[in-house]
Structure 1
Amino acid sequence: MNPDVVKPNVIVICGPTALGKTAVALELARVFNGEIIGADSMQIYRYMDIGTAKPTPYEQASIPHHMIDIVDPDESFSAMQYAKMAHEEIMKLHAQGITPFVVGGTGFYIKALVHGLFMARPVDTDIRMRLKEEAAVHGAVSLHKRLSKCDPDAAERIHPNDTYRIIRALEIYETTGKSISKYHSEHGFADRQLKVLKIGLHINRNLLYDRINRRVDAMIEAGLVDEVKGLLGMGYSENLKSMQSIGYRHMVDFIKGRLSWDETLRTLKRDTRRYAKRQMTWFRSDSEIVWREAEQLSDIRGLIKDFLGGA
């Protein structure tokens, strides 16, 4: 990037699920003439609103949102695509004098946007087909166990049911002899083109878990079961990457009679808590993040004011 070009100022609001990032970001965007760029790997999907805790139509109307509802549930979408599209949105906002707020809990999206992505090896179709066949016969959990031996860091990040990411990690390892974690580490995500303030939101763990439980209850009340039935009725397979995510796979198991209602709720709340823990592990490893409690709005406003004033 040309050093004479002014780098856009970007404010990242990140943290685990159910923390209230949207409410904080909406308030900050109003104060600092901002618009919101989503950084959530599930909110990119159309028709998946309740289970992804997507900002409501009212919230999206009050402050413009970007990078939400951009692909159908059966379309593939990578972190590299996200970084490219989100960067384009940031440049448009920058040209208009609008402050971009990147808001979400998908750490890999944020890292790809802020630091760039290494150029991954091309797909080896033979290896991928073999791994897909193994997953169909033995299940994703079997492949996940194999991944934990050759790339324990990736296995820690990737859910045992996330067939797509498990296969991709194994494919890179089998093709190159290097783990995907090693590729990320060697690259260093060094191609920074933005001036960024990262603010991480956190609360007491017990309070977070209580919020998670209440959010799940609210999603059920809002009609999550019917949302998933509608997706299945539209022809979207339960085996899609999008449908294997938290909330959706649980509702599918209930609808198909594989889980009782009580077990569905129990495992959904449990898996959401585990996901929040993984998110915090990811964000805690980023030394650039300034941590504040969600209720510390005055302090957060001060951080942003100093950041923008010193630009």
Structure 2
Amino acid sequence: MTGSFPSQHHGELYILAGVTASGKSNAALEWACSNDAEILSCDSISFYKGMDIGSAKPTFEERKRVPHYGIDLFEVRDPCDVGRYAEYAQRKVGEIISRGCKVLVVGGSGFYLQSFFSSMVDQVEIEDSVREQVDDLFNSLGLVGLLQRLRSLNPDGLGELDVLNPRRVIRALERCLASGKNLATLKQEFDSLPKSFPNFKKKVLWLNREDSDLVQRIEERTRKMLERGLLDETRTLLKLGLAFNPAASSSIGYREAVSCLQGNVPECELNQLINASTRKLVSKQRKWFRKHLGEKSHLVLNHGQELEGTDLL
């Protein structure tokens, strides 16, 4: 796969990002309906079949109103990485453009959103033996074991790596082992690669809300997830191999539900734990969006405000 988008495609990419519970999904649906657009999801959990309640996927009725892509791509035991998503996104953008429609990218997963701005994928090939080695280490020693091994390969530090995110740590360790290089060198090489979608003008907006408003919306979101059967959904996903997918099993909502089902967390505390984890995620999202998308594309919504389709981008 090449590092940039095929030169025959050009135009505009509309990108609507936003912190969790900001209202971006509804805003995206209304904008797409008003602007002859199709939606490409950039949510790292919506990729997986069966992870419906915890990811707040669009309903089938909403998908009938506007075509959605990037949803239900993989079985839950089949981990997706940014390279696989980037290849999929590259293909889908071309298909949507060829139909004469606009492309609206929607999501809150900064790691995957970045694939629309920087190089699609790095040049490191990961052999199956390396993946198995890292998986075995994670299964036997957990995140602590991964970090110990990764730090031994990077004595000068791990840079900006999110060391609490198993998916990021796994990806970093795989690339260090496969390439024989440290993270600093790999980052330098990655930054020098051709940028993705070079012929596309990108129109970006990221949504935010005041803390008091967002706290209420997060609590309402969590309440609905639990009422709709998050625990039962998680129980089914575990039977389908959720535990073999570190990124999916550690995602907010499912991580806490797994702990509850394993007897580590009382069900009466589940709501509170998910709310707390979601607030921490929002803090990380804000930092990423400010750094990578900037303040010019930042919109803070008032309490109770919902955007209409004509208000965006």
Place the TM-score, normalised by the shorter chain, in its bin: 0.7 to 0.9
SS in 2 for 1:101: strand
Distance (whole Å) between structure 1 residues aligned to residue 8 and residue 141 of structure 2 = 53
Distance (whole Å) between structure 1 residues aligned to residue 190 and residue 6 of structure 2 = 25
Task: Choose the corresponding residue for 2:95, options 92, 97, 101.
Answer: 92
Identify which range, 55-64 or 173-182, moves more after superposition.
173-182
SS in 2 for 1:97: coil
Structure 2 equivalent of residue 240 of structure 1: 245
Structure 1 equivalent of residue 182 of structure 2: 178
Structure 1's unaligned 5+ residue stretches are 305-311
- Go from structure 1 to structure 2 and tell me whether the alpha carbon gap of 1:88 and 1:2 turns closer, same or farther (over 3 Å shift): closer
Structure 2 equivalent of residue 255 of structure 1: 261
TM superposition shift of 1:102: 0.5
SS in 2 for 1:139: helix
Q: Residue 226 in 1 paired to residue 232 in 2? A: yes
Structure 2 equivalent of residue 155 of structure 1: 162
**Are the counterparts in 2 of residues 37 and 102 from structure 1 also a CA contact under 8 Å?**
yes
**Are the counterparts in 2 of residues 38 and 67 from structure 1 also a CA contact under 8 Å?**
yes
Q: Which amino acid aligns with 2:234?
A: V
Distance (whole Å) between structure 2 residues aligned to residue 51 and residue 141 of structure 1 = 26
TM-score (norm 2): 0.84
- Go from structure 1 to structure 2 and tell me whether the alpha carbon gap of 1:94 and 1:166 turns closer, same or farther (over 3 Å shift): same
Paired residues, what number?
A: 298
Distance (whole Å) between structure 2 residues aligned to residue 168 and residue 177 of structure 1 = 13
Q: Residue 192 in 1 paired to residue 195 in 2? A: no
Distance (whole Å) between structure 1 residues aligned to residue 300 and residue 47 of structure 2 = 27
Q: Which amino acid aligns with 2:289?
A: F
Structure 1 equivalent of residue 48 of structure 2: 45
Q: Residue 216 in 1 paired to residue 222 in 2? A: yes
Structure 2's unaligned 5+ residue stretches are none
Distance (whole Å) between structure 2 residues aligned to residue 6 and residue 142 of structure 1 = 44
Structure 2 equivalent of residue 7 of structure 1: 10
TM superposition shift of 1:101: 0.6
Q: Residue 113 in 1 paired to residue 120 in 2? A: no
Which of the pair has the greater relative contact order for Cα pairs under 8 Å at 6+ separation?
2
**Are the counterparts in 2 of residues 8 and 91 from structure 1 also a CA contact under 8 Å?**
no
Q: Residue 22 in 1 paired to residue 25 in 2? A: yes
Q: Residue 291 in 1 paired to residue 298 in 2? A: yes
Distance (whole Å) between structure 2 residues aligned to residue 223 and residue 121 of structure 1 = 40
Distance (whole Å) between structure 2 residues aligned to residue 144 and residue 246 of structure 1 = 21
- Go from structure 1 to structure 2 and tell me whether the alpha carbon gap of 1:41 and 1:98 turns closer, same or farther (over 3 Å shift): same
Distance (whole Å) between structure 1 residues aligned to residue 293 and residue 168 of structure 2 = 26
TM superposition shift of 1:293: 3.0
- Go from structure 1 to structure 2 and tell me whether the alpha carbon gap of 1:274 and 1:194 turns closer, same or farther (over 3 Å shift): same
**Are the counterparts in 1 of residues 124 and 175 from structure 2 also a CA contact under 8 Å?**
yes
**Are the counterparts in 2 of residues 15 and 104 from structure 1 also a CA contact under 8 Å?**
yes
Per-residue deviation, residues 155-214 of structure 1 (Å, max 9, x unmatched): 35x52xx2x431221233354332155554444746624221011111112322221121
TM superposition shift of 1:219: 0.3
TM superposition shift of 1:31: 1.5
Task: Choose the corresponding residue for 2:170, options 167, 177, 201.
Answer: 167
- Go from structure 1 to structure 2 and tell me whether the alpha carbon gap of 1:67 and 1:128 turns closer, same or farther (over 3 Å shift): closer
- Go from structure 1 to structure 2 and tell me whether the alpha carbon gap of 1:133 and 1:47 turns closer, same or farther (over 3 Å shift): closer
Per-residue deviation, residues 214-271 of structure 1 (Å, max 9, x unmatched): 11111001111111122234x3242423223221121111112121113332222211
**Are the counterparts in 1 of residues 19 and 282 from structure 2 also a CA contact under 8 Å?**
yes
Task: Choose the corresponding residue for 1:63, options 50, 55, 66.
Answer: 66
Q: Which amino acid aligns with 1:24?
A: A
Identify which range, 206-215 or 110-119, moves more after superposition.
110-119
TM-score (norm 1): 0.84
TM superposition shift of 1:23: 0.6
Structure 2 equivalent of residue 207 of structure 1: 213
Distance (whole Å) between structure 2 residues aligned to residue 131 and residue 82 of structure 1 = 21
Identify which range, 40-49 or 133-142, moves more after superposition.
133-142
Question: Identity over the aligned pairs, expressed in percent?
Answer: 27
Distance (whole Å) between structure 2 residues aligned to residue 255 and residue 101 of structure 1 = 37
Distance (whole Å) between structure 2 residues aligned to residue 44 and residue 23 of structure 1 = 19
Structure 1 equivalent of residue 281 of structure 2: 275
